[in-house]
Amino acid sequence: MIRSWTLATVLVAAAASVHAEDTRPGPLPGARAVAEPPAPSGPVSEYDPWQGFNRKIFSFNNTVDEWVLEPVAKGWDCVTPKPIEHGISNFFANLRFPIDLVNNILQGKGVQGAEVIGRFVINTTIGAGGFLDPASALGLGPQTEDFGQTLGVWGVGPGPYLVLPLLGPSTLRDAPALGVDAATAILPFFIDGWILVGARVVDVVNTRAQFLQEVADAKAASLDYYVFVRNAYLQRRQALIEDRGKKGIPESVPIYEEQDLYTVP
C-alpha cells in the first residue's frame, strides 16, 4: 500500500499549525496568522504558475471529498472504535516497508534503513501483523520516506506546484515520483488487484475519518482554503526533506507521513 497524499502531508501540517496557534503561550494571533501555516525555517517557494488549472482541480477534489468521502468517513467513524481505526492505520503504515527502506538507503540513511527493517520485523511478528506498534515503544519509530523526498535530498527542486485529480497536492518533482514508489511497493505484483482496491478504500476512508475535525478546523480558519492547503503542503514537504517533518506536531494529532484522501495505485 503506498500512501494517501493529501491527508497527512497537508492535514497534518494544517492541523499542526492550527493546534499550534491555539496552544502557544501569549495572545492569539489575528485571523490571517491562523489562516496560513507558519513559515518554516528553510526557504520555501510557493511557485504556482498553473494556479488557474490547479484551483479547478482543487475544487473538484474538494467536491468529491465533501459529497462522497466525508459522509462515508463520518459513518465509519461512528461505527468503528478508535483503537480499531489506529490499528488499521498501523497496518497500512507497516506495508510501506519496501518504500521506506529503499528511499532511506537512496538518501544514504543506513541507520534509519536498519530501523525500518527492525520495525517491520517487530510489528509484523509480535505486533499482530502490523495492527499494533510495539516497535515504537522499543525506540524504533517510523522512518517514512518517499522518492519525492529522495529527489529533494539529491538537490532536485520542487518545480511548479501541481494539484492532481483525486490525488491532491503535488509538484512537478513529486508527481512522477509517485510511479517510482508504486513500483517499489511490490504488493501489486503479488496480490490480486481487486483485493488491493478494497484495501485502499478501507485505508482512505479510515484515514479520512481520523481527520474529520482537523479538516473542518482548517477550512473554518482559512481565508483562502486553496492557499492554505498549498502552503501547508509545500512547507511540509520541505520540512520532510530537511528531516524537520516530525518536529512541532502535537501528540494529539496522528502522524501519517505523506498520506492523503486518496491512494496511489
Q: E strands within the chain? A: 161-164, 168-171
Rg value, the chain, Cα = 18
Confirm if 252 and 1 have CB atoms less than 8 A apart: no
Grid cell digits, residue 60: 473538484
Q: What is the pTM of this model?
A: 0.77
* Chain mean pLDDT for the chain: 81
CA 87 remoteness from chain centre: 17
CA 172 remoteness from chain centre: 18
* Bridge partners, 161 (sequence order): 171
- Each residue of 120-170: pLDDT tens digit? 999 999 999 999 999 999 999 999 999 999 999 999 999 999 999 999 999
Calculate mean pLDDT across residues 194-210: 91
CA atoms within a 13 Å half-sphere pointing along the CA-CB vector of 111: 2
Q: pLDDT band at residue 23, thresholds of 50, 70 and 90?
A: very low
Confirm if 172 and 158 have CB atoms less than 8 A apart: yes
Calculate mean pLDDT across residues 64-71: 97
Helix/strand/coil for 263: strand
